[in-house]
Amino acid sequence: MPPFIIPSLVKFAVGALGAGVIAHWAMKELRRINDELERAKAASIVDPTARAAMPTLRRDPRTGDWRVT
């Protein structure tokens, strides 16, 4: 027999506390990731006039390399 016995209520309380901590951590991570994705999305928006000035790449059928056209 073990030297001490943990009551069922204490086990349940510790399990509920652990689940709460994990849920809190997961929500913080989700918010952090979504904020990072929103910043990346906002930074990737390009002005259409600037987009037209960018060169277009096409694959060369003979070599398979990408070339500016």
CA torsion, ordered 40, 67, 57, 43, to nearest 10 deg: 20
Closest CA to 69 of 60, 58, 54: 58
Whether this prediction's pTM lies above 0.75 is answered by no
- The percent of residues in the chain predicted with pLDDT above 70, rounded, is 96
CA dist., res. 69 & res. 56, Å (int): 6
What pLDDT was estimated at residue 1?
55
- Are the beta carbons of 55 and 66 closer than 8 angstroms? no
What's residue 16's pLDDT? 97
pLDDT band at 42 (very low <50, low <70, confident <90, very high): confident
3-state secondary structure of 33: helix
Quick one: pLDDT at residue 32? 97
Q: How far apart are CA 26 and CA 32, in angstroms?
A: 10
